[in-house]
Amino acid sequence: MRYTLRVFRYLRAYRGRIIQTMAFLVITTLLGLAPPRLIQGMVDTATRLGSRSVVALFGIGLLCIAIVSALFAAAQRYSMATIVHGLIYDIRNALYEQILHLPFGFHDQTPTGYLISRMTSDMEALSMFFGFGLGNIVGMVITFLGALIMLVAMSWQLALVALATVPFLAMTTLRSSNLLGPQFLGLRRQFARVTAQLQENFAGVRVVKAFAREQHEVIKFDRQLDDFMVRRLKLARVFMIYMPSMGFLTNLGMVLMLTYGGYAVITGSMSLGQLVASQGYMMMLTGPIRMIGWMVINAQRAEAAAEHLAEVLEHERLIADRLDAIDLGEVRGEIRFENVSFGYEEGAYVLHNCSLEVKPNETLAVMGATGSGKTSVINLIPRFYDVNEGRVLIDGHDVRDIKLASLRQHVGTIFQEAVLFSGTIAENIAYGRPDATQEEIERAAKMAQAHEFITRFPNGYQTHVGERGMTLSGGQRQRMTIARAMLLDPRILIMDDSTSSVDVETEYLIQQAMLEGMRGRTSVVIAHRLSTVKNADRIIVLDKGVIAEEGTHEELLALGGHYRQIYDTQLADQEEAG
Ligand code: DGT
Ligand code: MG
C-alpha cells in the first residue's frame, strides 16, 4: 500500500471532517447493534409475559432507533461524500497542474490517452477506495466485534457454533480476491487499450477515411473488444463459483447456529427471543467477512492507480524556475548560443557545438535539410528543452537563470503546427493575453493579415472555431497563430514556418504577415520562402546538427555550398513568383 499511503497526505486538509464522519459512523454502527436485542425482548415478552403494552414499547423503541440511525447514516454519507469528492477534486487539480507544468520532453514521450486515463479511471479507483473502502473498514470492524460480543454475552457455545464457518468464509473471500485482483487489473489494462485505440482513431479519422481503412480499423477494434469480452467472461466465471460458495457458507453457518439454538430453546438454556436475536447478530458477523474480498480488490485497484499517479505527480519538473531566477524586465533582444550541444535522448546529440549570435532587431533565417536540427535550435531559445552543453543567453542572461513566465512572455513562439482551441476567434488570438481589448486583438489580426478574412465571417471575431479549428483553412489558421504571437508584442519572435503549400494569394498574405511580424524585433525564423530568406539579415544553414554555413543571401550564394544547393533546388522557382 506504499503508493496509496502517499495519497493520505491530501486527506490532511479534511481532518475535522474526518473526525466528524467517523463519529457519525460509530454512532450509526453502534445503533445498528441494538435492534436484535430489542427484538429479543419483544419476542420474549410476547411468548412469556404476553403483555401488549410492553410489546408496543419495544416497537416504539425499535422505531426510534430506526429513525435516529437513519438520520445519522444520512449525515455520515453526506459528510463522507464531501471528503471524498474534495479529495478527488484536490488530486485532480494537482495532477492537471503538474501535467501542464511538465516539460516538453515528458509530453513528447507520454501518449495523450495515458494522461487522460490518469485523470479519469485512476481517479475513479481512488474515489471508490476512499469513498467506500476506507469508511467501511471502520464500520465493519465495529460491527464484527460488536456482534461477536453480543453473541458471546448471550451464550459462548452459541458464539462458537456461529463462528464455525467464518474461517472458511474468510478463506473463500480472500482466495477469490486473489484470483479476481489480477483479473480486474488485466481487464482495466485492456480497457485502457480499447480507449487508446478509440482516441487515436477518432483523432485521425480523416486519415482512416482517406485511405479507406475503415474496415481494417473496425476489425482491429473488434479484436481488442473481443479480448475485453473474454476477460469479462473469465471474471464472470470466477464470480459464478465464488459468490454462490460464499452464500452457501453463510447459509450453512446460519443453519448450524439455528439448529444448535433450537435445541437450546427446547432444553430451556436459551429463550426464543435470544434465538431470534442471535440470527440478527450472525448476519452482522458474516457481512463484514464477505466484504473483505471486495475490500482487497478495491485496495489493489487503488494501489495501482496511486502508483500511476505518483509516476506523474512525482515526475521532476526538470525545467523549472531556479530559486534565484530573475525577471527580464526591459529586453533588448540579443540572443547568443555558446558552444551548444543538445540531444533529446541521453548520448544522442542532435546539435553539436553550435555558436551563434543574433543582435537586437536582427532577423536570422535558419535553413537546412529535414531533420538537420532547425526546430531543435529554436526550441532552446524559450527553453522548451535545456541544453546538454554550452549556454543559451538572452541579453547576456543564461535562459536557465530567467523565470520561465518572464522568458516566455518576451519570446513569442509560432509553431509549425497551427493549434487552435475551441472557442471564438477573438479568444484564440487573445490566448496569451486574455485581458486584451478588442482594438488590440484587431490590430494584431491586421498585422497578421487575418483581419480581412475574419470580418468576412458573419460573426466576425465571435466566430466559433472547432477543437482543431477545422472550420478554418490551413493558411487562415497559420495567420491566426501569427496574430496570437503579435498580440504579445514580444521582443523576440521565433517562428517555425510551415511548409504547407497554399495558393499564391494566401502565400503572399502569409509573407506579408511574417515580414510585418518580424519588423522591429529580434526574429529567428525557420525559412522555406525566398522572401523570408532575402529579408533576413543573416542566414545559417544546418547540416546534421552542425552550423555549416553562415552569411547573407548573396554571400552564401557566392559560396556555392549547401545554401546554393537549397537555392537551386527549392528557392530559385520562387524568384519569378515572388
Ligand atoms: P524538419 O522540421 O523536418 O525540417 O526538421 P528539423 O530540422 O526541424 O529537425 P528537428 O530539429 O526537429 O530534429 C532534429 C533531430 O532530432 C532529428 O534527427 C529528429 C530528432 N528529434 C526531433 N524531435 C525529437 C524528440 O522529441 N525526441 C527525440 N528522441 N528525437 C527528436
Ligand atoms: Mg522542424
Ligand 1 binding pocket mutation candidate from 345, 346, 350 (most atoms within 8 A of CB): 350
Q: Whose CA is nearest to atom 16 of ligand 1?
A: 350
SS3 annotation, 443-478:
HHHHHCCCHHHHHHCCCHHHCEECCCCCCCCHHHHH
Residue 62: per-residue pLDDT:
95
Per the DSSP assignment, residues forming a β-bridge with 522 are 492
Confidence check: pLDDT of 565 > 80: yes
Confidence check: pLDDT of 444 > 90: yes
Q: Residue 461 corresponds to which cell in the numbers above? A: 471575431
Confidence check: pLDDT of 432 > 70: yes
> Which ligand 1 atom minimizes the distance to the CA of 416?
2
C-alpha–C-alpha distance, residues 416 and 394, integer Å: 23
Q: How many CB atoms lie within 10 A of CB 507?
A: 17
Q: How confident is the model at residue 578 (pLDDT cuts 50, 70, 90)?
A: very low
Residue 415 Cβ < 6 Å to ligand 1: no
Residue 30: closest CA among 125, 109, 138: 138
181-195 pLDDT, tens digit per residue, is: 888 888 888 888 888
Q: Whose CA is nearest to atom 19 of ligand 1?
A: 371
Share the mean pLDDT of the chain: 89
Q: How confident is the model at residue 500 (pLDDT cuts 50, 70, 90)?
A: low
Residue 498 Cβ < 6 Å to ligand 1: no
C-alpha–C-alpha distance, residues 204 and 199, integer Å: 8
On whether the CB atoms of residues 198 and 113 are closer than 8 A, the answer is no
Q: What is the mean pLDDT of residues 327-335?
A: 92
First to last CA, the chain: 67
- Ligand 1: distance of its center to the CA of 414 in Å? 17
Weakest-pLDDT range from 134-138, 441-445, 490-494: 134-138
Q: How confident is the model at residue 28 (pLDDT cuts 50, 70, 90)?
A: very high
388-408 pLDDT, tens digit per residue, is: 999 999 999 999 999 999 999
Residue 134: per-residue pLDDT:
76
Residue 470 or residue 301, greater confidence: 301
C-alpha–C-alpha distance, residues 559 and 568, integer Å: 13
Residue 577: per-residue pLDDT:
55
- Ligand 2: distance of its center to the CA of 525 in Å? 11
- Quick check: pTM over 0.85? no
Q: What is the strand order of the sheet 363-368 is part of?
A: 411-414, 492-496, 522-526, 363-368, 538-543, 546-551
Q: Is 430 exposed, middle or buried (0-12, 13-18, 19+ CB in 10 A)?
A: buried
Residue 178: per-residue pLDDT:
85
Confidence check: pLDDT of 451 > 50: yes
Weakest-pLDDT range from 119-128, 168-177, 202-211, 496-505: 496-505
- Ligand 1: distance of its center to the CA of 533 in Å? 22
C-alpha–C-alpha distance, residues 24 and 45, integer Å: 32
523-542 pLDDT, tens digit per residue, is: 999 988 888 888 899 999 99
Residue 493: closest CA among 529, 526, 517, 527: 517
What count of residues does the chain have? 578
Q: How confident is the model at residue 502 (pLDDT cuts 50, 70, 90)?
A: low
Ligand 1 binding pocket mutation candidate from 351, 374, 542 (most atoms within 8 A of CB): 374
Question: Percent of the chain beyond pLDDT 70?
Answer: 98
67-103 pLDDT, tens digit per residue, is: 999 999 999 999 999 999 999 999 999 999 999 999 9
Residue 467: per-residue pLDDT:
65
Q: Whose CA is nearest to atom 31 of ligand 1?
A: 344
Q: How many CB atoms lie within 10 A of CB 100?
A: 8
Residue 259 or residue 133, greater confidence: 259
On whether the CB atoms of residues 385 and 344 are closer than 8 A, the answer is yes
Residue 7: per-residue pLDDT:
87
On whether the CB atoms of residues 4 and 129 are closer than 8 A, the answer is yes
214-246 pLDDT, tens digit per residue, is: 999 999 999 999 999 999 999 899 888 888 999
Residue 40: per-residue pLDDT:
93
> Which ligand 1 atom minimizes the distance to the CA of 377?
11
What domains can be seen in the chain, in order of their start residue? 2-313 (1.20.1560.10), 335-525+533-577 (3.40.50.300)
C-alpha–C-alpha distance, residues 60 and 64, integer Å: 6
Residue 45 Cβ < 6 Å to ligand 1: no
Question: Which range in 14-28, 291-305, 559-573 is most confidently predicted, on average pLDDT?
Answer: 14-28
Confidence check: pLDDT of 469 > 70: no
Residue 499: per-residue pLDDT:
60
Q: What is the mean pLDDT of residues 20-40?
A: 93
Residue 134 or residue 262, greater confidence: 262
Confidence check: pLDDT of 379 > 90: yes
Strands 522-526 and 492-496: parallel
Residue 294 or residue 558, greater confidence: 558
Q: How confident is the model at residue 367 (pLDDT cuts 50, 70, 90)?
A: very high
- Ligand 1: distance of its center to the CA of 376 in Å? 6
Confidence check: pLDDT of 489 > 80: yes
- Ligand 1: distance of its center to the CA of 481 in Å? 22
Residue 520: per-residue pLDDT:
87
- Ligand 1: distance of its center to the CA of 379 in Å? 10
Q: Whose CA is nearest to atom 30 of ligand 1?
A: 344
